[in-house]
Amino acid sequence: MADSWSSSGLDVHLGWQPETGRTGLAAAIRAAIREGRWQPGAAVPSTRALAQDLGIARGTVTRVYADLAAEGYLRTAQGAPTRVATAGALPQSAPRQAPRDPAPRWDLRPGRPDLTAFPRQAWITATRRALLRTPAAAFGYESELGAPELRDTLAAYLARSRGVVADPARIVVCHGYSHAIAILARALRGLDINEIAFENPSLRMYRDIATAQGSSVVGVDVDSEGINVSAVDSPAVVVTAAHQYPTGVTLAPHRRTQLARSGALILEDDYDGEFRFDHQQVGALQALAPERVIYAGTASKTLAPALRLAWLVLPRSLVEPVRAAMSDSGSRPAFLNQLALAELIDSGGYDQHVRRSRAEYRSRRARLLTALPDSVRPHGIAAGLHLLLMLPPDGPTETEALAACRRRAIGIEGLGTYWMDPNRPGGLIVGYAAPPKHAFASAVQTLIEALWEITT
């Protein structure tokens, strides 16, 4: 039976942002305890329940709880639920009120689509049609691999749109890409593959998820032609081949071939493959080696992260290990959302939405580039939902640039947190897709004012 939070009596709203990873989750729980939302002595949500709700690996929550217990915020006992420490036992240095970062007035954070453009009416129509067409028996305990309707649809869609070699039996639908990384790392551990290489720089959250599953993580540098394939010496590697995140470069053709022939298992994170603006989309790396490349896609960038829908196209040898890991995780994406997405794709509504979004984001990127000061150097191909801005080598620093943005209530990210080692170049990662359409011009103007302040 699934764990329930109702017995804890806690307000479990944490306001946690997935990109902050394990460190951010620990900080959110500390804040909940300090502010009294998690009352002293109350039982906290189980690791399984909290992990399932947040769409992250259970091991991540387990490690956060262990860290907070060591700090004195939580109390553990063998055979008993974990509880918030009593008031007298809480760390004395902890303030009663922890200030929260205000929501940015101008949201230029990367990795976010324009949520106001979500096709609500098309989604409602797709959901209604799916409900009318689906037999009652389908609403039982579904397959660990995901709804058959969606897997059938994805096999056809990925073949025509991304050139992926897929059949439904090799597709697994996950509870978001974070869940996919956790499941895959767990399955690879079961096959004695204990080390995974990640691009450097890359999103720390995903590296932390792999580490939480017991994998050893190593970094491989990225240059203007993508990951340095000759430096890959791990049995598995994660790449963003079509549009490297966050640098924005594309894996060069000769390196694609070299990587496909390397013998390593490759996880291809095709997070925004639908959004190429200057040329036809680069086909998926997976087609070069379907039995060595695990293809990962998601609806988070095309539709919305809240849908928690991602998918893996697996080599035949990994289908059963991943299915078993999915079963053990106990986490599944909402079945109705799977049916609705299948219907949206089959009806053509998904392609229409992607085309509209592609045109809008192409226009936004062009407008941002036109407005930039000459001293700020844009990096990467014309694609995706973000742009990396490299700062002048003689200053300002990334810290100064971020501070100037914060003074103007701009939500933005720095490149520094993506590196796996210190003393690397700084920069700003601008998510030009995130603002609502009516706010985009003002958001860009405010960013340009901040850049002019620190570069002139």
pLDDT in tens, 200-251: 999 999 999 999 999 999 999 999 999 999 999 999 999 999 999 999 999 9
- The DSSP output letter for 20 is G
Mean pLDDT of 150-177: 96
**pLDDT band at residue 66 using 50, 70 and 90 as cut-offs:** confident
**pLDDT band at residue 102 using 50, 70 and 90 as cut-offs:** low
Same domain for 87 and 184, yes or no, is no
Check residue 236 and give its pLDDT. 98
Same domain for 180 and 326, yes or no, is yes
Q: Above 80 in pLDDT, residue 98? A: no
| Strands annotated E in 85-187 | 106-107, 171-174
Residue 39 lies in a domain: yes
Same domain for 189 and 279, yes or no, is yes
Mean confidence (pLDDT) of the chain: 89
Which residues are within 8 A (CB) of 257 and not within 5 positions of it... i.e. 6 or more apart?
A: 288
Domain count for the chain: 3
Pick the last residue of a domain from 43, 67, 101.
101
Alpha carbon distance 128, 91 (integer Å): 52
In the numeric block, which tokens belong to residue 392? Answer: 């002048």
Residue 1 lies in a domain: no
Same domain for 341 and 373, yes or no, is no
Q: Above 60 in pLDDT, residue 12? A: no
pLDDT in tens, 310-344: 999 999 999 999 999 988 877 788 999 999 999 99
Pick the last residue of a domain from 348, 376, 395.
348
Pick the last residue of a domain from 328, 348, 368.
348
The CATH number covering residue 151 comes to 3.40.640.10
Q: Determine which helix (DSSP H) or strand (DSSP E) holds 304, and give its type and residue range.
A: none
Q: Above 50 in pLDDT, residue 99? A: no
pLDDT > 90: percent of the chain = 68
Task: Show the domain range for 389.
Answer: 107-116+351-455
Which residues are within 8 A (CB) of 312 and not within 5 positions of it... i.e. 6 or more apart?
A: 171, 172, 174, 180, 183, 184, 294, 295, 296, 322
Q: Above 50 in pLDDT, residue 281? A: yes
Same domain for 335 and 375, yes or no, is no
Same domain for 398 and 358, yes or no, is yes
